[in-house]
Every structure is written in structure tokens, then in C-alpha cells.
Amino acid sequence: MTRERDRHPGRRALLGAAALGTGAAALGGTGAAAAAEPAGRGHGLPVPAVIGHRGASGYRPEHTLGSYQLALDLGADVVEQDLVPTRDGHLVCRHENDITATTDVAAHPEFAARKTTKTVDGTALTGWFTEDFTLAELKTLRAKERIPGTRQRNTLYDGRWEVPTFEEVLVWAERQGRRRGRPVWLHVETKHPTYFRGLGLGLEERLAGLLRAHGRHRAGSPVFLQSFEPSSIQRLGGLVGCPKVVLLPAAGRPWDFTVAGDPRTVADLVTPRGLAWIAGFAQGVGPDLSLVIPRDAAGRLGTPTTLVRDAHAAGLVLHPYTARNENTFLPADFRRGTDPAAYGDALGAFRTYFEQGVDGIFSDNPDTALLARADFLGARAAG
């Protein structure tokens, strides 16, 4: 692994390993073990990095400043944002432009007439959509838990936070970075970029403008840019120098490929040839965890694929998604009991993925991921 990384300075630069922050240390973090990785050129992220998925969405409603703050306080190395636009062109943090399940919009009679059906990336959806609201209107709403049946305790925080703009997140990250004496890394996704470009709401130019205004547009800036549409990453490459990651779902075809008539699928992109193509304009891939270790018909883990090895050979980092604590999300091997909302052996599952050699992992539960990383690195050091 070390020789492989040394052959790819672009990848090595993303993997610089410094001591973990105080949050990770408080959780039994492993600064010394992480520092055993190649030092690279100083980005300072431990390997494997823990990425707070939509913040700490296992404990707070996703994509709120409360969720982001908790992820950072728990020790996450990176905090993720998904971006969609408002009607007047502001970028806000929501996993989808359909805000029916993540806000209290249905309780606002003044917006009842805006409920509609739209086709987004080939799928018909009925609800309320960010592109039909101005930012001022959106700010009258409050966020709520998206999956209350699984995360009932998170409903305690329904209504506490508003929908943040990405600019507000950048200001928050700068403030937190000054307080902690180290930059706060962000992992920023453009959602449905082809769809929004068709509406005249191109995401990439708006995102690049905000990054430039806040000094986060350079190759060494503490921000990853990610998208399920390779063309969005290519467009961003012409605007900013930040490291970029192509996201890969379990199967299917990127929507921009469908629109352009490109016949390639995810199965093509995870081959050595496909990964080499991605490496021509991106520095990493973010695969669904099933592309690292498939699950069988019973939901149990099968034989690992060669994706980690092949991506590393192409000089790409791997940040797979998403590790979660609840039985309903875990491989069957690690479920405990029959309650889908109960926690299973998440530590064991997370360690299994770390053992594949991934460079980071998205998790709704950053504290669990940090403990699993400490176990993994400790066992590796002892072995």
C-alpha cells in the first residue's frame, strides 16, 4: 500500500496524516496510529478518515447546523453537505430538492398550493421542492427528522433548526476552524446538476463562486467536491482546484450519461479502464459499500471485490458510503435481534470495511466509526 501511494502524488497529497483532533482523542482516537500512514504533502487527514454523513444524522435531523456541529464535536474528520438551489439561486443544504420529509412545509397552509409532481432524474416525485421557494420563504420552514420510524429519538429536535445555506456553513466552518486551530474539512455534493442546469439554476458556478469568496477554491483547500454525475465534476474542474470525487451508486447509470446517450454504466466505471478515465479529472471515488463488499440474497457480506485495489492503482482515494448503526442498514451478519431500528454490531461492520483498505468512510454515526477505526488501527499495529 505504501509503495502504491508513493507512485501517485496526487492521491498521496490527499492522505496526509496528522494527529487527530481533541474530539477523536476523547473517544479513544488513534493519532499515533494514524500518523503511521504516509505523511504526504500535509492535508492532515488520518487514514481512514471519518466523514460525518449529512453531519451526525444518526443523532440529529440531517443537514442542520446542529447535525454538523455534533459531527465535529464527536470528532469527525470531515463533514458532508448536499447542495440544491432555491428559486432565487441560493444554494441550501438538503439531501434532495424534495423537502417534504425533511421540513415542516406540509404544516404551512400558505404553501399548500405549491405541492406538485415533478420528474427528477427520471423519477416522478410528489411534494414540495426547493426550486419553487425563495430563500426568504424557505427560511420560514424548520427541519425535521427524515426517518422518524427508525430514529424516533431524533424527533426531539424537530423544529429546532432551519434549513442552512451553504454560505452559512462556510462561515460556521471558518469560525470552528479558528476556534480549534485547524481547518474544518467539508465534503460537498452537487445534487441533480443536469436537472437544475435545465432549469437555469446551474450548481457548479454558484458553488465555485462561494468557494472562491471564502478562499476554499485551491488544490490544497480543505474541501472535497463530489457528485454522482461525472460531468458536474468535470465542470467544477474548470472552475476550482479542490480535490474531487465521483460518487458511484450500487448499480445503474449516471443521469448525465443517460441524457447524453452515453451507454456506460456503474459496472463499466468500476473497471480498471473506467477508473483510469475517472482519474483523468478527479482524485477519488465514493462507491456504495456494496461495490466494496457485495451482499448476497440474504443480505450477508460476500467476497470483497477488487475495487479498492484497482482504484488505488489508478491513483484514486476511496470514500465509500454509508456506514450506520441500525440493524435495518447493517449487513445481516452484524444485525442483532429483530428490531430494525435497534443497534447491531456496527463496530464489527465498520471494522470489516476498514480492513478492505478504504481511505475514508461516510457514517451517520461518527463516534462509532471513530471507535471502529481505533480498534482497526490498534489491531493492525499489534499484528
Q: Are 229 and 269 contacting, i.e. CB atoms less than 8 angstroms apart? A: no
DSSP state letter for 183: P
Q: Could you tell me which of 192, 326, 299 has the C-alpha nearest to residue 247?
A: 192
Q: Are 152 and 44 contacting, i.e. CB atoms less than 8 angstroms apart? A: no
Q: Which residues pair with 84 in a beta bridge?
A: 92
Amino acid identity of residue 152, one-letter, is Q
Q: Which residue has the cell 426550486?
A: 131
The three cell numbers of residue 360 are 475514508
Residues 6+ apart with CB under 8 A from 209: none
Amino acid identity of residue 208, one-letter, is A
So which residues are the catalytic ones? 53, 95
Q: Are 91 and 84 contacting, i.e. CB atoms less than 8 angstroms apart? A: yes
What whole-number distance in Å separates Cα of residue 335 and Cα of residue 365?
A: 16
Say whether 101 sits in a helix, a strand or coil.
Answer: coil
Q: Are 185 and 222 contacting, i.e. CB atoms less than 8 angstroms apart? A: yes
What whole-number distance in Å separates Cα of residue 316 and Cα of residue 270?
A: 12
What whole-number distance in Å separates Cα of residue 143 and Cα of residue 251?
A: 31
Say whether 224 sits in a helix, a strand or coil.
Answer: strand
What whole-number distance in Å separates Cα of residue 142 and Cα of residue 178?
A: 28
DSSP state letter for 88: T
Q: Are 105 and 111 contacting, i.e. CB atoms less than 8 angstroms apart? A: yes
Say whether 116 sits in a helix, a strand or coil.
Answer: strand
